[in-house]
Amino acid sequence: MNIIDGKFKTVLTYGTFDLLHYGHLEILKRASLLGNKLIVGLSTDKFNDIKGKTCVLPYQKRKELLESLDYVGKVIPENNWDQKVTDIQGNNIDIFVMGDDWEGIFDELKVFCEVIYLPRTKGISSSKLRSILDD
């Protein structure tokens, strides 16, 4: 566990995590190393419908897969775009993490916690996997 400045740090990230792959595992692992507990906000099936995303795996299965990872401390449902501030405050979040493809999008959260954008793992994405599976 990593304690910075002698304080317990809680990290929060969000995603759909469909077709869980090593890129997901890498970013989750790197996010977990920024603190002591990693909370993952997982997009629900209903929220994915609103976003126009179709998942191969249903929410409950994606949740079970994430919960099986040693470095994921807790999985919470992501039901809408606007819940991030409530989740940050309700879970005493110190660090909010997203992939660098979201760079700048969540900067308004800096008044509540530190915001970090991590580089994505090169050469892998859910979209790339879907295109391979569709062939």
51 carries an active-site annotation: yes
53 carries an active-site annotation: yes
Please pick, among 7, 37, 46, 51, the residue that the annotation labels catalytic.
51
Strands across the sheet containing 95-99: 74-78, 37-43, 10-15, 95-99, 114-118
Residue type, 74: K
Please pick, among 53, 61, 110, 128, the residue that the annotation labels catalytic.
53
Residue 89 — φ and ψ, nearest 5°?
-70, -40
Tell me the C-alpha distance between 63 and 85, whole Å. 22
Active site residues: 51, 53
